[in-house]
Amino acid sequence: MKLIILAAPGAGKGTQAELLSKHYNIPTISTGAILRKNISDGTELGEIAARFINDGKFVPDDVMIQVVTKRIAEDDCKNGFILDGFPRNITQAEALEKSGIEIDAVLTIEVPDETIVERLGGRLECKNCGTSYHKIYNAPQKEGVCDKCGNELVTRADDKPETIRERLNTYHETTEPLKKFYEEKGLLRVAEGQNEIADTTAEVLKALA
Ligand code: AMP
């Protein structure tokens, strides 16, 4: 299964991608997570990415296309993969197509903007392994500590209220047109993103069945 998950920031794509990854036994390629890891490791890619991410802006297309095609060429993607966070615009989608990678389905998770602003305001992420939590909807067992690896949970630099609005605007203007792009190719599957993670997962599995 070669799947793209297309959804606004905070719609739950990372969470659903992890669940689908287990379900289909294929890796998730989260471009945001790759970039954040490079930032914390202080790599050259991380230095470039930080300049854009912290303002809620996109990292340049040529950089992202390279990151993704290189990752997909790795051995663990042989039987499929889930792309979480790529493509983010038509240029990236066309580059993916040109590189000869055939996608089986494109899943969108629909969540109203107001819900997203509320959710992202409470989002926490593990500094070490990147696992995502929410102060109310998906709280860790011990406040401020990752259930998986015991490291510290922090608010992402790009989850500040003004940056969230900026990211949502960018999503509507630049990423949302991809729905039409993939609908015309007969690849689009739509799921409603409910408040409860398990309800969204049920919707997602139904949409992909
Ligand atoms: P995410 O974790 O998917 O919300 O990504 C966090 C940030 O990383 C985004 O707001 C962008 O600044 C950057 N980013 C991730 N994926 C891409 C992409 N495909 N194209 C451009 N920038 C990206």
Q: pLDDT for 54-71, tens place per residue?
A: 877 899 999 999 999 999
pLDDT of residue 208: 95
Dmax (CA) for the chain in angstroms is: 46
- CA of residue 20 to ligand 1 center, whole Å: 20
Q: How far is 144 from 133, CA to CA, in rounded Å?
A: 10
Summarize pLDDT for 129-166 with one digit per residue, the tens.
989 999 988 899 999 999 999 999 999 888 888 888 88
Pocket around ligand 1 at a 6 A CB cut-off: 9, 31-32, 35, 52-53, 56-59, 64, 85-86, 88, 92, 158, 167
> 64 vs 49, 102, 195, CA distance in Å?
10, 18, 31
For the segment 15-43, the average pLDDT, to the nearest whole number, is: 94
pLDDT of residue 8: 94
Residue 96 has pLDDT above 90, yes or no: yes
Residue 200 has pLDDT above 90, yes or no: yes
Token pair, residue 122, equals 């409470």
123-126 and 188-192 as β-strands: parallel, antiparallel, unpaired? unpaired
pLDDT of residue 207: 95
Among 73-82, 86-95, 118-127, 136-145, which is the least confidently predicted range? 118-127
**φ, ψ for residue 58 (rounded to 5)?**
-75, 145
pLDDT of residue 41: 94
Q: How far is 68 from 42, CA to CA, in rounded Å?
A: 19
Which residues belong to the active site? 13, 88, 123, 156, 167
- CA of residue 128 to ligand 1 center, whole Å: 18
- CA of residue 105 to ligand 1 center, whole Å: 21
- What is the pLDDT confidence band of residue 25, given thresholds at 50, 70 and 90? very high
Tell me which of 31, 51, 155, 159 to substitute to probe ligand 1's pocket, judged by most ligand atoms within 8 Å of the beta carbon.
Answer: 31
Residue 195 has pLDDT above 80, yes or no: no
Cα dihedral 56, 35, 27, 170, rounded to 10, equals 20
pTM assigned to the model: 0.86
Contacts of residue 100, defined as CB under 8 A and 6 or more positions apart, other chains included, come to none
